[in-house]
Structure 1
Amino acid sequence: MIYTAQVKVMPLKELLDPQGKAVMGGLGNLGLGSIKDVRIGKNITLQVEAESEAAAKAIAEDAAKKLLANQVMEMFEITIG
């Protein structure tokens, strides 16, 4: 069966997010000062062939750990649809 895995990758909260800071400055310049924080990440969609939803999640997690996320600087979250 084919499952759709959504992998959300975000910078760790403890680390500076330079892209988020740049967007934050731009929003302030546009008069949107009520936005107090911006974090920029990635959303990756995988089509996974697997025997079960649990197996598809395990495959997506393996991909995230090995390639999609830098676990020193980023965290990831996987949902299967």
Structure 2
Amino acid sequence: MNKTELIKSIATGANVPQAVAGKVLTALQESIENALMHGEKVSVRGFGSFTISEHSARRFHHPATGEKLMAAAFRTVRFTPSTQIKSSLN
């Protein structure tokens, strides 16, 4: 399912125009992004939680040249689905 299909599904399920559903989805995305940028955890009961995962810098070697390099530290978003979603898949 892509974003357009998700907007159509939200519009149908909530009985609202697609333009409104699109704005709601965009606002949700921006709110989650803003909270994560400020280091907050976002939890939606029955859906799941979004957290920031920190990865430290590490050393590695280039397999072709054998040169030792340094990979920079980075942050990434981690999503953990709720137990309700997990159980519905199995």
TM-score normalised by length of structure 2: 0.25
- Relative to total residues, which structure has the larger helix share, 1 or 2? 2
The one of the two structures with greater contact order (alpha-carbon pairs below 8 A, sep at least 6) is 1
TM-score normalised by length of structure 1: 0.27
